[in-house]
Amino acid sequence: MKRKNKVLSLFKHSTISYREKHSKISEGYIMNTIKFNDIDPGNPTKRVPTTLILDCSSSMFGNSIGALNAGVLTLKEEVEKDEQACLSVDLSVISFGGTVSIRHDFSSIEHFNPQPIQACGDTPMGQAIMMSLDNCEKRKSFYRENGIPIYRPWLFLITDGAPTDEWQTAAKRVRQGEVEKKFLFFAVGVAGANMDILTQIAPPERPPVLLNGLSFKEMFLWLRAYPKTPAARNVITEQAR
């Protein structure tokens, strides 16, 4: 309670950010895109924009999609326990299964309330990566226009299959972006994932990893703890370009 009150006190005398919720129906599912029209001037913390790129194709149906949804909630809960992370982490979720959707646009953890994802359709992974990179660049421009410093953004791809669309262009963009230090890209394969293709997408210095079973909760706990490891500290704290 003390931690929560301390965090909320930072916002007490500041302008409250406004948001608009836009709902659209795609293939029978309601998807909410949250857009924030301005920022909280009372929070000068350097931001870490983080995007979860989640496979929700039909092969994820059943236990896999349930475990993935639970893992996302675990990430939210873990970030909320860390006062500094609450102020610095901005999260977005992009899913791909049949279509590619921004499930939740960038927001602070306070406003991050992801809805359960349902599995359906094929695997337009290339399009999802491209959309994620475009959205990341838009967010970086938004920060800079408002004088907010940022660390290198994180993009975190999770899939159990192989792309059913053209993915080579996305792979080239990922690797070039890594060289130019525009972001940090992580790829995680669930059982059944085409690790050969993921290896061609992920940067050579950060090859894809294969998840042990459906341990999404443990994976997101690792994601939450990774910035504090000595090996990660230098690259994560670099200024984004």
pTM of the model: 0.78
Question: How many structural domains does the chain have?
Answer: 1
Any domain includes 127: yes
pLDDT of 7 strictly over 50: no
The answer to whether residue 69 is domain-embedded is yes
Mean confidence (pLDDT) of the chain: 78
Of residues 199 and 29, more confidence is placed in: 199
214-229 b/e (C-beta count within 10 Å ≥ 16 → b): bebbebbbebbeebee
Is 38 within a domain? Answer: no
Give me the percent of the chain exceeding a pLDDT of 90. 48
Task: Please tell me the least confidently modeled range out of 21-35, 78-92, 149-163.
Answer: 21-35
- Give domain status of residue 141, yes or no: yes
Q: Residue 182 domain-assigned?
A: yes
User: Does residue 10 form part of some domain?
Assistant: no
Sign of CA dihedral 152, 224, 216, 74: negative
152 neighbors 236 (Cβ within 8 angstroms):
yes
pLDDT band at 86 (very low <50, low <70, confident <90, very high): confident
CATH code where residue 189 lies:
3.40.50.410
pLDDT digits (tens, 9 = 90+) for 54-65: 999 999 998 889
What are the pLDDT digits (tens) for 24-70?
333 322 333 334 434 565 677 899 999 999 999 999 998 889 888 88
Q: Kindly compute the dihedral angle of the four CA atoms of residues 46, 225, 100, 103, in this order, to the nearest 10 degrees.
A: -70
Structural domain of 194: 61-236
- When pLDDT is averaged across residues 109-134 and rounded to a whole number, the result is 94
